[in-house]
Structure 1
Amino acid sequence: MQLVWTLSGRGWADCTISDHQAEAEVTASYISTAPEDLLTAVARLVTGEAEARVQFEAEPTAFRWILYREGSDVWIRVLELADGSKHDNAGTEIWSSQQSIGTVARAVVRCFDDVARKYGESGYRGKWGEHFPHSELEALRAAWHKSHRLEST
């Protein structure tokens, strides 16, 4: 699984999510806390929660990520909705995958590590309009490392 976050303009990001079978591109606007929400959702799954949801606002389109964990597996569905206030059933699934929790955590951590290297603090803030989500990235990294150590014992 791979995730790529590209700042495409002031307050806009394109996010490409892919696995060995398919790829999808979603858009996020700074009107929501998309990066923080995605990092937090994955951290919650790593620490044992069974379901997490994230919504990227693309004004007026929305992209809803629905993540379910069972054991060490995570099922990810990404829906595109013409109106973000609508029920999941109103959306069109544009990508889905089953991955291990470690694969998902690693992909998201690597993605945001790459973002930090590519843009730097001021570049990220200048393009996105908000601070880089350090605390959320580090919380995910810590949860992932802790769960990995627990699995190894």
Structure 2
Amino acid sequence: MTPLAITWTLLSRGWASVKVADDHGEAEAIASYVTDGPGQFLYAVTRLVLGDTDTRAELEGEPQVYRWFFHRDGPVVDIRLVLADDDRAPDRSGTVLWSGSHTVTALARSAVRAFDWIDHEHGEVSYESQWGRPFPRTELEVLRTTMRTHRPDLQSPGPPKSPTRPGATRRL
């Protein structure tokens, strides 16, 4: 699999460019602050790390909408970035701008790097001033913590395993 890069760049008050690229291609989505696109995106990636097989996130482009669709099969996630006419358009409609297959870990790391970079470049106060919404600190830290406590590329998708106490044995 080829390297994955995701960048989030503030353009002007309430607008951002989100780029995704790998060795097979790249695409750009333009996002508006009117919805919590960054939070949705980070939450969707976190759900994949936790083992969900299908998640999605949406970026409002006013009037068009950019939809991220994620389908996990074992350690690999098939990713599609789709441009639809508006937020009422069915999920199966729209134009695929980019698609790729990457490990859950590669996707999660790329997402964390993108938001770590924007935090480094702007800081939370400047980000909120330019974007119009608070920096998605909680969502970013939840993803970071989830990555540390789960080994997503070694897990099969499905319901989480029931925890056992240290030293306890399970009877089969």
TM-score (norm 2): 0.85
Say if 2:40 is the partner of 1:31: no
Q: Which runs of 5+ in 1 are unaligned?
A: none
1:90 counterpart SS class? coil
Deviation of 1:149 (Å)? 8.9
Counterpart residue identity of residue 10, structure 1: R
Total equivalences in the alignment: 151
Aligned to 1:73: 76
CA distance in structure 2 between the aligned counterparts of 1:71 and 1:133, rounded to whole angstroms:
28
CA contact (8 A) 2:76 2:153 kept: no
Query: Aligned residues: percent identity?
Result: 38
Distance in structure 1 (CA, Å) of the matches to 2:69 and 2:23: 20
The one-character-per-residue Cα deviations of 1:90-132 (angstroms, maximum 9, x if unpaired) are 2000000000000000000000000100111111011001111
Q: TM-score, normalised by structure 1?
A: 0.95
Aligned letter for 2:127? Y
Separation in 1 of the partners of 2:33 and 2:74?
33
Distance 1:112 1:121 in 2: 11
In the alignment, the residues of structure 1 paired with residue 119 and residue 125 of structure 2 have an alpha-carbon distance, to the nearest angstrom, of: 10
Unpaired runs of 5+ in structure 2?
A: 155-172
- Cα separation, 1, equivalents of 2:152 and 2:30: 34
- Alignment of 1:91 with 2:91, yes or no, is no
- Closer, same or farther: CA 83–71 of 1 in aligned 2, 3 Å: same
2:141 to 130, 138, 141: 138
- Give the structure with the larger helix fraction: 1
What is residue 125 of structure 1 aligned with on the other side?
128
Moved over 4 A (4+): none
Query: Is residue 17 of structure 2 the alignment partner of residue 14 of structure 1?
Result: yes
Matched, 1:106 2:109: yes
Per-residue CA shift, 1:25-73, capped at 9, x if unaligned?
0011111100000000000000001111111001001001100111101
Match among 54, 61, 67 for residue 58 of structure 1: 61
- The RMSD of aligned alpha carbons is 1.3
Alpha-carbon distance in structure 1 between the residues aligned to 2:54 and 2:71? 4
